[in-house]
Structure 1
């Protein structure tokens, strides 16, 4: 973030997704703060935007430290400020504040996250910010409060919401979030579906008869015999994405297969601890959720047993931070290993049962440590 902001400051001009302020907005300028946030949330560059506070444009863009600014706000204060504003559909911009020390002073950056929920606009007027006016930012200029953006910019923002400016892969990921809108391609085919509003998008899976390997999480199911497959996403005849899948517990539950990572407790490059995981908001996790249809006790039970063996991270960064945290606390891992039950793992020719038991036990310890990690990072 420091490098990004320093580069923007070095340009010595404002732009389509960044703005400079010498000081924080006073109580008399709350409408300006709201207006600026909405404009940045509706930026036309399809990216995060920045309101950089503590830069004096009239003094060669030098730092004007906000360390003692009486109007200074943190993330929670901004969230509270936006919460009581009447946004259409109750959907509000996602913002947070990050402080950067630079040139013997402090600057604050309001980071306005890029989302697909555009256009953001009010359903009820707030001071000078009008209801139903759609604001954006063109070059270095915000849409005036008393006006609405040009129609082609408004159209762009709506198209963004419905993924019509997105790539086919981004679109299909969005469509997969609504599993009820997918239909079997024929009554006799249970492995292929198409999206009913855009049937050129399909998802199908085919089983791999040659693959019969085992993973530790299979043994947490009532039926531990695996059925592996490939899952393919296509647009017309073009393959967009392919990943592994598995039919678990005798066909009671189907899912995409998880990622694998590990932790080395020494300088040895080999993993001492391995684990299976998903990352939220990835296409792999979206497909995992797509296939879970909790319409009966058997599927729900199989899903629960599967997730008992998984770690689910909010982002790749969170996963890497967690791995670092594990390294710092693993010496005390017996404190996190109480009441861990190991499922029955039968002897299978050519496989080492003790390895599966260790993997299962380790992931239960990691899940306990992960709960502690999340509490410490709230």
Structure 2
């Protein structure tokens, strides 16, 4: 955790995301750890929560922890304890334990990651001395307070928790993005009786994706198709619909002689010394990214047969960013550290090879020859950025 974020959490006081502890939970008070985690797991918002250990509760003074405290736990210890509690749906909350040095003191931070698997409760009573969390009892953090140990969360909180589970507390685009990630519950149905080929969400058929022809006369290959065996692509349009209303549309294409579908990546730009250079990218967990994952991972999709054989090779030149902020930082770093004009310039041999592939794969080629050099350089820039990000990740480990 960055120091600035830590101070933000401390300055805002205890709330429905943050709780302070002066010391670690002792062995005879592990039930308090379970109570706090269950309360934070069952929050109605969609943010991660934090238990910060080493802060005086009332004064918010940073006192730090004793690093030799035998009660200190690692994430594995907390997770193992939760795994032994018979939680509903056998769902184990995702927990991380980290440390941060502040003002020459060490604080530990238990991060409870957000989940939509709410509400979570115990299937069996959990006793610790004279205290008990009852089976079926739902604890939920509301503002800065936990649900009392002898009660369950009120009805209006329970309603919000169930709405959170079924994504009914999100707008339609966010709901769509959630169901796209449920790959195993989609079915691909080929075109028949005048209906287009489509993907249908089995758990709610109001969610479906029509695949229709795109007649815009676009180029017959793209930078990404340089990674395929055959260059030619056939453009389609994926219309993401809910109850006949179009929520979103994305350009996709058949690749490699219509063996698999691929979402058209976005185009990014990196500034060089004299000009800007383009490349292809996705933002992780975006609709475009999750739609592409669905095309590859849905069990009934044609792509699924080539998932392990082709996907990594096809995506070799496509950059996957965790956020737009990471994209901004990486583009700035690459611009500063590389001579792009030299590093990604297409050679005459590379251009000739692509032109020969165009001759073989594409009928009535025209603009495709003009784009050969540019698309080679887009492909090479994507690979360069991916290599740079991988090296940076390795250096941090």
The TM-score with structure 2 as length reference comes to: 0.75
Q: Distance in 2 between matches of 1:146 and 1:259?
A: 53
| Count of residues in correspondence between the two structures | 366
Distance 1:297 1:75, change over 3 A: closer
Distance 1:73 1:359, change over 3 A: same
2:315 aligned to 284, 298, 307, which one? Answer: 307
Mapping of residues 1-378 of structure 1, within 5 Å: 2-3=3-4, 5-7=6-8, 9-11=10-12, 14-58=14-58, 60-66=59-65, 68=67, 70=69, 71-73=71-73, 75=75, 78-79=78-79, 81-102=81-102, 105-128=105-128, 129-176=133-180, 177-178=182-183, 180-182=185-187, 184=189, 187-188=192-193, 189-213=195-219, 214-264=221-271, 270-272=275-277, 274-292=278-296, 293-294=301-302, 303=311, 305-316=313-324, 319=327, 344-346=353-355, 349-350=366-367, 351-378=370-397
Distance 1:83 1:323, change over 3 A: farther
On the 8 A contact 1:88/1:121 being kept in 2, the answer is yes
Q: Distance in 2 between matches of 1:296 and 1:257?
A: 18
On the 8 A contact 1:310/1:363 being kept in 2, the answer is yes
Q: Give a deviation string over 1:120-171, Cα, whole Å, max 9, x none.
A: 2334555434444322123332223454333443343233112122222222
1:142 is paired with a residue whose SS is coil
**More contact order relative to length (CA 8 Å, sep ≥ 6):** 2
Q: Distance in 2 between matches of 1:359 and 1:152?
A: 52
2:35 is paired with a residue whose SS is helix
Distance 1:168 1:324, change over 3 A: same
| Greater Cα shift, 356-365 or 286-295 | 356-365
| Greater Cα shift, 97-106 or 142-151 | 97-106
2:317 is paired with a residue whose SS is coil
CA apart distance, 1:94:
2.0
CA apart distance, 1:219:
2.8
2:291 is paired with a residue whose SS is helix
| Greater Cα shift, 308-317 or 200-209 | 308-317
Q: Distance in 1 between matches of 2:84 and 2:338?
A: 44
1:242 is paired with a residue whose SS is strand
On the 8 A contact 1:294/1:300 being kept in 2, the answer is no
Q: Distance in 1 between matches of 2:303 and 2:214?
A: 27
| Residue 337 (structure 1) aligns with | none
Distance 1:186 1:248, change over 3 A: closer
Q: Give the CA RMSD over aligned residues.
A: 3.8
Q: Give a deviation string over 1:169-188, Cα, whole Å, max 9, x none.
A: 22222323236444659733
Q: Distance in 1 between matches of 2:121 and 2:166?
A: 16
Distance 1:125 1:80, change over 3 A: same
| Greater Cα shift, 47-56 or 296-305 | 296-305
1:62 is paired with a residue whose SS is coil
Q: Distance in 2 between matches of 1:61 and 1:96?
A: 22
Q: Distance in 2 between matches of 1:164 and 1:234?
A: 17
CA apart distance, 1:374:
3.4
The TM-score with structure 1 as length reference comes to: 0.78
| Residue 361 (structure 2) aligns with | none
Structure 2: give runs of 5+ residues left out of the alignment: 343-348, 359-364
Q: Distance in 1 between matches of 2:336 and 2:72?
A: 35
Distance 1:17 1:325, change over 3 A: same
Q: Distance in 2 between matches of 1:329 and 1:224?
A: 32
